[in-house]
Amino acid sequence: EAGVAQSPRYKIIEKRQSVAFWCNPISGHATLYWYQQILGQGPKLLIQFQNNGVVDDSQLPKDRFSAERLKGVDSTLKIQPAKLEDSAVYLCASSLRRATDYEQYFGPGTRLTVT
Amino acid sequence: GENVEQHPSTLSVQEGDSAVIKCTYSDSASNYFPWYKQELGKRPQLIIDIRSNVGEKKDQRIAVTLNKTAKHFSLHITETQPEDSAVYFCAAYSGGYQKVTFGTGTKLQVIP
């Protein structure tokens, strides 16, 4: 089966600019996650969708970050305006989340550099 | 919310020795504990997981143990090989919607 797709793979922007990332999860996966991974740290959950509803966005900086999941499939994560500290890899993951299957499958990530 | 602490942050072992990484969690309702391996520049990949109704699980050279009373779980790698060198992350799932919290990671270096 095809894996989780993300684009772009790399993005360089200046601070105060806007940027958007796109994720296409594995077909049939109900749960979609966006993580921010700063170099040398563990993934930090930004937002979790169950189908097209938000389950958890407690760590999403809502003054500048927004995310949506259209029709319970693809998702976009937007940063507006970007700050230097937003430089990180943004990982998207999906899972079936049935009672016996919680495994998350990660996409390749988008490396964002804010200058 | 859940808090997951992971130790050590770095670990160097000689090839063939064992490596142990420990995570503690705060939410007693957490019920699923995966371990991920992340090689440099690559995405995290699940290597083993354990549910709260099981005390230990083994898969070849990798094992995970869970102590629910003490709220900690550990990753054990035996007969380490250079290809085991990577960053390892633990995670804990809790709550009705299975919110996930990752540990801070352990950089394992296996010295040939």
**Interface contact flag, B102 A42, Cβ < 8 Å:** yes
Residue B67: per-residue pLDDT: 95
Cβ-Cβ contacts under 8 Å, B49 against chain A: 102-103
Structure tokens at A74: 């693809």
Residue A84 phi/psi, 5-degree rounding, is -55, -40
Q: Choose between A78 and A56: higher pLDDT.
A: A78
The bridge status of strand A88-95 relative to strand A105-106 is antiparallel
Residue B2: per-residue pLDDT: 82
Using an 8 Å Cβ cutoff, are A86 and A112 in contact?
yes
Nearest to B44 among A44, A50, A106 (CB): A106
**Per-chain mean pLDDT for chain A:** 92
- Residue A81: asked if its preceding bond is cis (omega within 30°), the reply is yes
In which band, very low, low, confident or very high, does the pLDDT at B80 lie, cut at 50, 70 and 90?
very high
Give the percent of chain A with pLDDT over 90.
74
- Nearest chain A residue to B49 by CA distance is A103
Structure tokens at A48: 């979790």
Q: For the segment A77-100, what is each residue's pLDDT rounded down to a tens digit?
A: 999 999 999 999 999 999 886 555
